[in-house]
Amino acid sequence: MASTNSSIPRGWPAMVLFGDSITEGIWNYDSGYSLGAALTGKFSRRIQVLERGFSGYNSSNARVVVDDVIPPAGGAIDLKLLLVFFGANDAVLPPNQQVISNDQAEKGVVVVSQHVDIEEYKVHLKAIAQHKHVKDHGAKVILVTPPPICEHKILPWKDRRSAVAKQYAEAAISVAEETGVEVLKLWHVFMEAAGWKEGEPLLGEIGVPKSEKLGELLSDGLHLTPKGYKLYFDNLMKLLKDNIPEVYNYERIFPNWGEAPRYQQPDN
């Protein structure tokens, strides 16, 4: 029988998923698959799963709230793992590259972009990955790259491009290499699942035939389908098992019921 911890002297072991709407959507049971439920089931009685997803946020927004998202060490939470999943909104085209209709222009529509310059994006990711609270906890960090874009589905938004998403995914990988943290190459995972190989025309671009396999992973060209979330989970588990086994194999806290002490009435 596996041993169990009998107390939690440093706080409750936890993992924090910090990201945008894709992270906020991990509890969406209506989709038929919940990444949040899958993670909670996997780490039940071992590591609690804390979702900190903020729809529409980019890495600049994240930099502002990170002090509140990651609590100081020595409190109720003992952070074991931090997943940082930003870039999908940073990669939105800047206002001067976005296309609006003539009707919108005549009405004086002003483009408000979530765009963050790619070099600034890297600075923000590095700051979050190396945050003082993360270091004080001794937590492991995984940067998750933004997913691909399917322009065939997302084109009406006119503000996201497949090639740009690839650039931001590569930027996240470079930050992980520079800081020595782990990276889940979700962009590559999805593209490989769709059958794409480096050097081929970029799947997702409007000028390339639509990929049904890529479309199965992206509900609206950006957000993940149940199949996409499942692929995310499977590859996260593989990364943890191979590279961070101390998290993947974290022991259950408190003894099993047959060994658990019972309350003893005080003598007085």
Q: Are 46 and 250 in contact (CB under 8 A)?
A: yes
> 12-248 — its CATH code?
3.40.50.1110
Hey, what are 181's tokens? 């943290």
Residue 108 has pLDDT above 90, yes or no: no
Residue 9 has pLDDT above 70, yes or no: no
| Per-residue pLDDT tens digits for 193-223 | 999 999 999 999 999 999 999 999 999 999 9
Query: Which own/partner contact pairs does 28-35 have at CB distance under 8 Å and 24+ positions apart?
Result: 31/225, 31/226, 31/229, 32/226, 33/226, 33/227, 33/229, 33/230, 34/229, 35/229, 35/230, 35/232, 35/233
Start-end of H helices in the chain:
21-24, 35-42, 59-69, 102-106, 118-129, 132-137, 151-154, 162-179, 186-193, 212-215, 226-243, 245-248
Its pTM stands at: 0.90
pLDDT computed for residue 198 by the predictor: 93
pLDDT computed for residue 107 by the predictor: 62
| Average predicted confidence (pLDDT) for the chain | 90
Rounded mean pLDDT, 238-254? 96
CA–CA gap between residue 226 and residue 35 (Å, rounded): 8
| Per-residue pLDDT tens digits for 26-35 | 998 766 899 9
Parse the chain into domains and list their residue ranges: 12-248
Residue 158 has pLDDT above 50, yes or no: yes
Tell me what percent of the residues of the chain surpass a pLDDT of 70.
88
CB under 8 Å to 142, separation ≥6 — which residues? 81, 82, 83, 84, 181, 182, 183, 184, 236, 239, 244
Q: In the structure, what pLDDT confidence band is assigned to residue 78 with cuts at 50, 70 and 90? A: very high
Q: In the structure, what pLDDT confidence band is assigned to residue 1 with cuts at 50, 70 and 90? A: very low
Nearest in space to 13 (alpha carbons), one of 264, 247, 259 = 247
pLDDT computed for residue 253 by the predictor: 86
CA–CA gap between residue 235 and residue 24 (Å, rounded): 19
pLDDT computed for residue 113 by the predictor: 79
CA–CA gap between residue 117 and residue 124 (Å, rounded): 11
Hey, what are 151's tokens? 């322009």
Strand partners, 254: none
Residue 94 has pLDDT above 90, yes or no: no
